[in-house]
Chain A
Amino acid sequence: KAGVTQTPRYLIKTRGQQVTLSCSPISGHRSVSWYQQTPGQGLQFLFEYFSETQRNKGNFPGRFSGRQFSNSRSEMNVSTLELGDSALYLCASSLVVDISYNEQFFGPGTRLTVL
């Protein structure tokens, strides 16, 4: 079974631009979560999607948004990029059967550099 894939792996943008990152979960997984990883702030939860609905979100400004499609693939968008948005963005998927915990599987991440 293929793992979680993220595209692109590397991205360079300039301040003020917007960016869209993509995540394809493991086949059958319905929950997708996004995280931002930076040296200063560590790993921070952005949001979780399940069946095309955002169920939970972290403390990030409205410039960060996401969505999930009917095939469970997810995208996150960052508008009006700032230098501080430079980070490794990780996506994780899990097979959700009920509210008991389901293990998350992480993708390799997208390295975003904002110049």
Chain B
Amino acid sequence: AQSVTQLDSQVPVFEEAPVELRCNYSSSVSVYLFWYVQYPNQGLQLLLKYLSGSTLVKGINGFEAEFNKSQTSFHLRKPSVHISDTAEYFCAVSAYTGGFKTIFGAGTRLFVKA
């Protein structure tokens, strides 16, 4: 079984400051890792994904994440945030067990202040 823990429920940060949203996971099988963003009253949009290969993954809107297998982490970072980055961010793991099953973390609310 898989599980995902997002270590911060809310992260307030000033505009143009760097940010890191933390995610740890556990799984007994190989997994794929994702970060999604959700704006109010909308569905989820994929920011980036780790399937295999390089552990540093770059996504849309200037976000990147690093897969650390030994620490079972997949933290999301952005060097300089904008007001428009205010949203809910979800870390997720997916595994194939006869069919795909994706487990999401509880979410981190990023609030960017002017």
The closest CB in chain A to the CB of B51 belongs to: A101
Q: From residue B19, how far is it (CB to closest CB) to chain A in Å?
A: 21
Question: What is the CA–CA distance of A20 and B39 in the complex, to the nearest angstrom?
Answer: 25
Interface residues of B (CB under 8 A from A): 32, 36, 41-46, 49, 51, 90, 92, 94, 96-107
Q: Which residues of A contact B (CB under 8 A)?
A: 4, 31, 33, 35, 42-45, 48, 50, 54-56, 58, 90, 92, 94, 99-109
Contact A101 B32 (CB under 8 A): yes
B32 surroundings in chain A (CB, below 8 A): 101
Q: Which 6 residue pairs are nearest across A and B when measured between Cβ atoms?
A: A55-B99, A56-B99, A43-B104, A106-B43, A106-B44, A101-B32
The answer to whether residues A108 and B43 also contact, given A42-B106, A43-B90, A101-B94 and a CB cut-off of 8 A, is: yes
A-B contact list, 12 entries, CB within 8 Å = A31-B100, A42-B107, A54-B99, A92-B44, A99-B96, A101-B49, A104-B94, A106-B36, A106-B43, A107-B43, A108-B41, A109-B42
